[in-house]
Structure 1
Amino acid sequence: MTASWTVSQMPDCTDKTVLITGANSGLGFEATKAFASNGATVIMACRSTERGRRAAIEIRDSIADTGATLNVRQCDLASLESIDAFTTGVERDYDRIDILCNNAGVMAIPRQETEDGFEKQLGVNHLGHFALTGKLLDLLLENDSPSRIVTHSSGAHEMGEIDFDDLHRERSYGKWEAYGQSKLANLLFAYELQRRLEAANVTDTLSVACHPGYAATNLQYRGPEEAGSRLRLGLMKAINAIVGQSAAKGSLPLLYAATARDVQGGDYYGPDGVGNMRGGPEQQSSSEASYDRQAAAKLWERSEELTGTTFTFVLD
């Protein structure tokens, strides 16, 4: 693994089925493009199928004929009903998934709730992906070749704290505190999932995590737009232009975690530059709180209760 690692070093993905949430924009768009360029079948899980179809057309027009298939499907991670409908359709039409990329997310938005009453950042970034992964687990385990589950976190997890007494931040809400909590939850989930796979003697399915550093995407704009702050929106655009690396560069840790041959279960990848904000993918350590097994087990239990999703690690 070196700072010069690029998509050109990705293994051939022909005959691989990849599912990416948030596939129509930003990091998800770039990851979808990279997988398709390497011949994969990509299930593009998008909140808006219209935007998903436009993205798929753009990707097809920009890559050579690799035999890739892009399948756009509607999935709103802020709705357990939508997740259930989406996973039911995927299970009907596919007999396996090789790579699941839990990528979609929202960042630093005014307090909102999902359709099911969850604080939206926790609901979309963590609980939605928890339910999605649990419902698709059989397709990852029922596989003749190794499979991976990659969960996208953020350096912002370091400021996160799981408030089990006010998980949905009903008593006290700060948009960045809630975002940090959701990104810490991503890591607690990814690591706990790997531990549970190992406890069930599942060796061919790995759970790993990553973060993009500072990648300039539309994710940074949603909070100011929803708050109606033109000043903050302009400031964020300026910061993105000066500090951020491209979405294509930001997607490299995700792509490395999903495909590189030296990846191990429980690994965490991010950019190797100053402050881990830019650069090529490397293995890193996350915060001390992210390795708290007691907190991870408690969050897992709460996530099962809230989503009604249980994970079955042993197949019939």
Structure 2
Amino acid sequence: MIPAGTYMLNSIDVKGPCKAPIEIQVDGTIQAPANQDEIKGADQWVKFTHVDFITLSGKGVFDGQGAEVWKQKKGGPAWSGKGPNKVFMNFGFNFVNNSIIRDITCKDSKNFQVLVFACQNITFDGFTISAPKDSPNTDGIHIGKSTDVKILNTNIGTGDDCISVGDGTKNLTVQNVNCGPGHGISIGSLGKHGLMNLVGDGTKNLTVQNVNCGPGHGISIGSLGKFTTEENVEGVLVKNCTLTETDNGVRIKTWPNEPATLTISDLHFEDITMVNVKNPVIIDQEYFVGTAPVCQAPGAAPGAAPGAAPAGATPIA
């Protein structure tokens, strides 16, 4: 247990496997170094790897202290997760199974807030994500190559996508989510990074429920279609979510004329409330055309979205 108070923490990787369940209760404020250079080579500040049956709970706040890094120009190898001085995320859950994160707050990450990669049966309940709407690349939760992920009763306000879902996602449920401001809920842009995509492919049975999103870019699935290693997206339910002052509501993004041929199927958005959202619904099958030379050739994207069904959407101006 970490009691109330403020504590400084360098990067940490909790590595398994472990012989018994682990319970960590955090009621204090944990701060990352404000200077990015103090953590060299770390792509995730607080990382859990190959751990089963872990519970992380409490009233604690994990503060990435990203303000100084945000002042730097976005772009270059550090922002793309390359080089010795990577711009690190607050949380990384990698190969984590049968685990729950409850009532924790994640704020002001220097880069993405949370990565869920190659996990099974992991739940976020009562989770809070907070960053200013002008903070660059502070996407809320990115899911890749994971099965049975649940995001419940969550409030997300960021400078980018509230929730983004990559290729290979199957049986995803997003329910009772408050998002905004930000970029909304996005399925895309699928296919940009293949196996290196941090919003990654291979996700299955993801549930996001009772989540508030905003600020930020919303909930994203994608981008798809750039690499042959990518997998289809199927079985996505986004339900009972609220997006407030986000750039986008729900978004699907696929790359045009790329080597992967992918399908997004069995996709449902139900009972979505949008308050002052600029672009409520976007299906972009020519993502990045006009901005990236690789996508200049004409033609439809290889990704298709059969069975996408909006129901009960309530836009509020």
TM-score (norm 1): 0.30
| Higher helix residue share | 1
The two structures have a TM-score, normalised by structure 2, of 0.30
Task: Compare relative contact order (CA 8 Å, sep 6+) and give the higher one, 1 or 2.
Answer: 1
